[in-house]
Structure 1
Amino acid sequence: MPVRLRGSRLTAETLSKGCVYVGQGSPYANPFRPGIPSASFPGTSMTAEEATDLFAATLRGPVGHRYAERFSAALGGLDLVCTCRLDVPCHADVLLRLANESPLPCPDIPGSTHYLKGTTR
């Protein structure tokens, strides 16, 4: 089963063809970043968990599900490398589930596939 690794783009290139960098600057990067102002809790900074949850929620949306399908096809079977610490939630965890678990129909969007049912990070 593929795993999440910590490192940079160079780390992914050095390790093997079986690794893909998904951090900032990649096509798979999370647009929601820990430390920026929180949309859910005004006056606080976004946590890693909140940023990861927002990324997952975006991929479940009417536009995001198209990205989810592309990401799933591109990342299946690969280890994912990100700069996040391994002991905190990371969008790479969402991408790993997305790319390596069986898709389920999404009742909200006719004809779509929903890869993230029930996940929160």
Structure 2
Amino acid sequence: MPIRRRGSSHATSALSTSGIYVGNGSRYANPFRAGDPSPSQCRGPMTAEEAVDLFAATLKGPVGRCYAERFARALQGLDLVCTCPLDVPCHADVLLHLANEPEPRGAACSLEGPSR
């Protein structure tokens, strides 16, 4: 079963084809970071857990679902490498679940909208 590992994009090359870097600078990076302002005006900076929750919620939205399906196909069966410490929430956990869930995913999304 694929797992989350801690490391840099350089460390991933040692994993050969069994792992892929999903941290900052990759196409799979979480655009939401701990310490960034919270989307709620009543709160201070986001925690790591809030940043991961926001990433997961975004992948469930109308456009995010298309990316989620693409990410799931590309990451299926691979170990995911990120710079986050292993004892804190990380978006790689969301991607691992998404890529390796036992349920079949829907048909591929199109970002072009309905045809006329």
The interval holding the TM-score normalised by the smaller chain is 0.7 to 0.9
Share of identical aligned residues, percent?
Answer: 66
Structure 1 stretches of at least 4 aligned residues deviating more than 6 Å after TM superposition? none
1:77 aligned residue:
77
Q: What is the identity, as a one-letter code, of the residue corresponding to 2:33? A: R
Unaligned runs of 5+ in 2: 109-116
What is the alpha-carbon root mean square deviation over aligned residues? 1.7
TM-score (norm. length: structure 2): 0.86
1:58 aligned residue:
58
1:117 aligned residue:
none
Determine the C-alpha separation between the residues in 1 that align with 2:82 and 2:7.
6
Say if 1:104 and 1:73 are closer, same or farther in 2 by CA, change over 3 A: closer
Aligned partner of residue 5 in structure 1, secondary structure: strand
* TM-superposed deviation, 1:93: 0.1
Residues matched between the structures, number: 108
1:27 aligned residue:
27
TM-score (norm. length: structure 1): 0.83
